[in-house]
Every structure is written in structure tokens, then in C-alpha cells.
């Protein structure tokens, strides 16, 4: 995973074009249209009709997006400063310890963590967000560290030799040059959040997991497929949007 994320980032760094990849949104739109057409050919019973009503789908989708957005924001606020801190000489010794915790966070089964936390602290959206953050911190954290470490040491030496302070070197050299790698980590985090947010339904925190689980319980393929397709479309769609954002925040020249 680490290698994938990094090589993706470096591959991106050498690409110069700012063209949008319009293939992804077209495929996603086509998937949604097909889903709609397929559903309209089905005879929906009353249970299916209730779960697949516009209001039900809208609420689940909004809840899902909210969970993802809040968790991702918290990850950004936590992981980037910690990542930056861990690359400073005085804190470097802490890096293996923090990475160990972050690795456990990602390796632990989400459902297990969710259940454990809800037994300890009760159910609801807050606990779901804690689980998501616990799970999705690693990519941003790891890529912030990697992104700063991959900055050519000759550049830092040049900066120091020209009289830039440590703070100026961080702000004007290390951080801008780490952006592509950090953004690659952020994309991974977003996709993980969208995926894991489906289990939030088990502690009554809503999301598209409601629809998927309803499909399983009621043994209705139509519901199950709808929940699955919507989750996948959101994951890929947000990843595409983040890729677009990456093109804009990446400094010119690199």
C-alpha cells in the first residue's frame, strides 16, 4: 500500500499536463444511470420501495458524505502537523512509535474497533467518526513524513547556505515540495473513509451501510446492489475530485 501510494505520487510528479481525466466521472455517471434503469425495470415490493425511496437514499448518502468529510478533515488536522513534527530533528526518535500506533490503527478490523468503542463509550455518530479517524490517519501521516523526507537534501543545503531559517525552509521549501505526496495520502484516506463508513450503520450512525445491511437482512438484491454501487460511486467520485484538487494545489514547476 505504501509503495503504491508513493509511486503514484512520484509518477504524478513527473506528469506535466493539467488535463482532467474525464473518463472517471463519465463511467460513474453511466453506472448510476444503468442502476436507475435497472431498478425501474424491477417490480419493487413495499419494503424495497421504502428503502429505495428518494428520501431514504438521499438521507443515507448525505449521512455517508458527512461522516467521510468530518473524519477526513479531522485526519488532515491531526496527521499533517504530527507528520511535520516527526520530521523535525528533535522529534525524529518518536517516528517509529507513532507509526506503530498508526499501523495498528489501520490493521485492526474496523468493525471490531467500532464495537469495542461503542461498548465503552456508547453508540452514535461521534464514535463512528472516532473509528474512522483511527483507521484512516495512517496514509496522510505516512505520506506527510515521506513527502518531507523525499525533498532533495541539496535544496535544503542551498536554502540553509543562503540564510533561510529552519521555519522558512519548512514553509517555503519542504511543505510546498511535499504537497504531491501528501495529497496522494489524502486520496487514500478519503477512499478508506468512504469504505469504512458503511459499518457505521451498526452503531446507528447512518450512512449507506443502512441500505447495504437492509439489503442483506431483507435478502433483496435490488437494495444490496443499490447500496454497493452508491458506495463505490462515491468512493471513486471523491477520489477523482481529490485528484483534481491535487492538480490545483500542487506547486507549479514540479
What residues line the site for another protein (CB under 8 A)? Answer: 152, 154-155, 157-165, 168, 172-173, 176-177, 251-254
Q: How many CB atoms lie under 10 A from the CB of residue 85? A: 16
Least gap, CB of 121 to another protein (angstroms): 44
Q: What share of the chain is helix, strand, coil (3-state, %, to 5)?
A: 85, 0, 15
Q: Closer CB to another protein, residue 126 or residue 250?
A: 250
Q: Closer CB to another protein, residue 45 or residue 157?
A: 157
Cell numbers representing residue 58 in the block: 438521499
Least gap, CB of 75 to another protein (angstroms): 25
Least gap, CB of 163 to another protein (angstroms): 4
From residue 252, alpha-carbon distances to 124, 165, 177, 232, 246 in Å are 43, 23, 10, 32, 11
**Alpha-carbon distance 139 to 142, whole Å?**
5
Q: Closer CB to another protein, residue 109 or residue 251?
A: 251
Least gap, CB of 144 to another protein (angstroms): 17
Torsion sign, CA atoms 230, 231, 234, 240 = negative
Least gap, CB of 161 to another protein (angstroms): 4
**Alpha-carbon distance 28 to 22, whole Å?**
10
Q: Closer CB to another protein, residue 23 or residue 163?
A: 163
Q: Closer CB to another protein, residue 128 or residue 181?
A: 181
Give which of 144, 145, 170 is closest to 159, Cα–Cα.
170
Amino acid at each position: 500500500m505504501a509503495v503504491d501510494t508513493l509511486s503514484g505520487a512520484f509518477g504524478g510528479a513527473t506528469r506535466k499536463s493539467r488535463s482532467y481525466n474525464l473518463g472517471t466521472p463519465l463511467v460513474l455517471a453511466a453506472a448510476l444511470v444503468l442502476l436507475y434503469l435497472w431498478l425501474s425495470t424491477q417490480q419493487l415490493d413495499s419494503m424495497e420501495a421504502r428503502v429505495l425511496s428518494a428520501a431514504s437514499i438521499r438521507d443515507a448518502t448525505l449521512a455517508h458524505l458527512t461522516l467521510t468529510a468530518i473524519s477526513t478533515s479531522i485526519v488532515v488536522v491531526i496527521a499533517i502537523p504530527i507528520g511535520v513534527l516527526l520530521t523535525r530533528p528533535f522529534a525524529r526518535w518518536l517516528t517509529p512509535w507513532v507509526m506503530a500506533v498508526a499501523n495498528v490503527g489501520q490493521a485492526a478490523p474496523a468493525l471490531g474497533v467500532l464495537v469495542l468503542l461503542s461498548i465503552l463509550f456508547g453508540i452514535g455518530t461521534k464514535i463512528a467518526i472516532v473509528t474512522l479517524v483511527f483507521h484512516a490517519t495512517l496514509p496522510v501521516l505516512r505520506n506527510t513524513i515521506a513527502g518531507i523526507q523525499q525533498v532533495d537534501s541539496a535544496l535544503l543545503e542551498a536554502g540553509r547556505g543562503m540564510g533561510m531559517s529552519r521555519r522558512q525552509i519548512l514553509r517555503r521549501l519542504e511543505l510546498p515540495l511535499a504537497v504531491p505526496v501528501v495529497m496522494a495520502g489524502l486520496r487514500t484516506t478519503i477512499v478508506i473513509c468512504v469504505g469504512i463508513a458503511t459499518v457505521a450503520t451498526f452503531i446507528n450512525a447512518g450512512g449507506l451501510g443502512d441500505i447495504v445491511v437492509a439489503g442483506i437482512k431483507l435478502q433483496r438484491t435490488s437494495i444490496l446492489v443499490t447500496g454497493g454501487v452508491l458506495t463505490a460511486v462515491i468512493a471513486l467520485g471523491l477520489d477523482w475530485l481529490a485528484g483534481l484538487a491535487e492538480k490545483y494545489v500542487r506547486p507549479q514547476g514540479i
